[in-house]
């Protein structure tokens, strides 16, 4: 195993790529009495058009199939229930799918050998039938309907849909009802055989473990299994324009205060040549925090003028050649807040003292993260998916951030490609009729 030591934070990372291609990372943390394991496929909801294993032509899968596949892997041919197995073995387990990955996890300090063997076995032994696929459709459609009743989720999804033309990131991870109904067991096997090969997966173990002992358990499990040959996964690339699809949408649902969403679609390709994607995220995150955090002058001013009562939320979405910034607020002064936020985001009035304070806070947050076996674990798969390498040198990463580069990025971002969404209360719809 390769061993990387980060002495400043007293952290060691062990890594070995097995013969079948599985990337194994182990982070021993003997100061805790717990073990956290994630088994991650580099396969998320945006991977909808690809050349399946053993074929030569591109195939377009139904939207939401990565999430559907995650559900179905819990269906065992033996009838066993993975949730019951882990609960009986003193562990909790779950799974999740996002735009870029699907991961299966368990955590618990006891019965590690039995638990990790079970995790590897159930994920690597799919069992799809016409009957169990049909049964799952109604379950996921009900889940989809619950999402549509949530104004924040619905607002987020509509902003993404109104921002992107071609990129599958515009479609919710769960998919559409029409596509969910169309999924077959053949679709599931096609996606599974393409993306769930060990060479496209990451196994990460963090916590109170001994690396040499762990790697032997994993090797023993994998050596007893047969997999098809490794293959290059070819995923369709999209020529996504910079302009948004729709500049504005207004609709009504069951909310007490109008919800406002603003989505800024930013092309970062021209910046990548000089600034890494990771640095761009740091700079934008710092910019938005200084501008729109609860202690910012801008937010204090909005509260004093009673434009908002609560803080506003913001997030940054990685969409390949674009980044989507979404800002959300609850207010009755919808048009006014859109105007004020739009004016504020286009002004770079951040001085070097603000920048250096934020830079120190990044280092502090990263050091805090280094104490969490869950954050350390998740960072590995995210780094490998987005940057194709793992880095825990927080000091080096933070020190590389500089005020001149920050200004060059912020001053050259085009914030004009935006879409807005207002969700009004249902009674506003009635008032409009009157």
For residue range 198-218, what is the model confidence (pLDDT) as tens digits?
999 999 999 999 999 999 999
Two tokens at 322? 């674009």
User: pLDDT band at 428, cuts 50/70/90?
Assistant: low
Extract the tokens encoding 149.
Answer: 């009743």
430 pLDDT band, cuts 50/70/90, is very low
Evaluate whether 2-223 and 248-433 have a shared fold.
yes
Is there a catalytic annotation at residue 70? yes
Classify 248-433 by CATH class: alpha beta
Let me know if domain 2-223 sits in CATH 3.40.640.10. Answer: no
Nearest to 375 by CA among 392, 400, 363: 392
pLDDT score at 433: 40
Residue 395, pLDDT above cutoff 80 = no
Asked whether residue 11 carries a pLDDT value surpassing 90, the answer given is no
- Whole-angstrom CA distances from 103 to 96, 98, 119, 416 are 6, 9, 11, 36
> Mind listing the pLDDT tens digit for each residue in 322-355?
999 999 999 999 999 999 999 999 999 999 999 9
Question: 327: helix, coil or strand?
Answer: strand
Q: Residue 345 has which token pair?
A: 């985001």
Pairing relationship of beta strands 201-207 and 23-28 according to DSSP bridges: parallel
Say how far apart CA 210 and CA 232 lie, in whole Å.
Answer: 33
Full strand arrangement of the beta sheet holding 259-267: 248-253, 418-425, 259-267, 322-330, 313-319
Per-residue model confidence as pLDDT tens digits over 82-99: 999 999 999 999 999 999
Determine which one of 57, 70, 136, 343 is catalytic: 70
State the pLDDT at residue 148: 84
Alpha helices in 130-184 (DSSP H): 130-148, 151-163, 177-182
Mention every residue, 6+ apart, whose C-beta is less than 8 A from residue 120: 39, 203, 218, 221, 222
Give the domain ranges of the chain: 2-223, 248-433
Residue range 351-378: average pLDDT?
A: 91
Dump pLDDT digits (tens) for 17-41: 999 999 999 999 989 999 999 999 9
Q: What's the CA gap between 313 and 261, in Å, rounded?
A: 9
- Predicted local distance difference test score (pLDDT) of residue 90: 93
């Amino acid at each position: 195993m390769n061993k990387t030591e980060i002495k400043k934070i007293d952290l060691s990372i062990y890594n070995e790529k097995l013969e079948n291609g599985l990337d194994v990372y182990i982070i021993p943390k003997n100061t805790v009495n717990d073990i956290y394991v994630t088994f991650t496929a580099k396969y998320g909801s945006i991977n909808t058009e690809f050349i399946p294993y053993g074929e030569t032509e591109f195939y377009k899968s139904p939207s939401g199939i990565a999430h559907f596949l995650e559900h179905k892997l819990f269906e065992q041919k033996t009838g066993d229930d993975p949730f019951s197995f882990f609960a009986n073995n003193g562990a909790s387990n779950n799974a999740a799918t996002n735009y870029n990955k699907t991961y299966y996890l368990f955590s618990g300090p006891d019965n590690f050998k039995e638990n990790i063997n079970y995790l590897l076995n159930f994920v690597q032994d799919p069992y799809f039938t016409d009957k169990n696929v049909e049964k799952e459709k109604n379950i996921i459609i009900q889940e989809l309907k619950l999402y549509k009743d949530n104004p924040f989720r619905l607002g987020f999804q509509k902003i993404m849909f109104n921002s992107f033309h071609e990129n599958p990131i515009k479609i919710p991870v769960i998919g559409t009802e029409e596509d969910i109904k169309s999924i077959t067991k053949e679709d599931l096997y096609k996606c599974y055989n393409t993306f769930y090969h060990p060479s496209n997966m990451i196994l990460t173990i963090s916590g109170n473990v001994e690396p040499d002992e762990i790697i032997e358990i994993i090797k023993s499990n994998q050596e007893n299994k047969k997999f098809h040959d490794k293959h290059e996964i070819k995923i369709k690339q999209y020529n996504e324009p910079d302009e948004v699809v729709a500049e504005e949408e207004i609709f009504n649902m069951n909310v007490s205060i109008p919800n406002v969403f603003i989505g800024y679609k930013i092309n970062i390709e021209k910046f990548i040549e000089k600034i890494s994607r990771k640095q761009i995220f740091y700079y934008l995150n710092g910019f938005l925090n200084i501008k729109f955090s609860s202690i910012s002058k801008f937010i204090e001013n909005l509260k004093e003028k009673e434009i908002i009562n609560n803080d506003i939320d913001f997030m940054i979405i990685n969409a390949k050649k674009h980044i989507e910034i979404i800002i959300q607020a609850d207010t009755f002064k919808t048009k006014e807040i859109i105007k004020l936020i739009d004016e504020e985001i286009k002004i770079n009035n951040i001085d070097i003292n603000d920048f250096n304070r934020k830079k120190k806070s990044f280092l502090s947050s990263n050091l805090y993260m280094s104490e969490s076996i869950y954050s350390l674990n998740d960072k590995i798969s995210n780094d490998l998916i987005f940057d194709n390498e793992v880095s825990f040198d927080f000091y080096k990463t933070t020190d590389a951030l500089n005020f001149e580069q920050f200004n060059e990025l912020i001053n050259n971002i085009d914030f004009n490609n935006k879409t807005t969404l207002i969700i009004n209360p249902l009674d506003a719809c009635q008032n409009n009729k009157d």
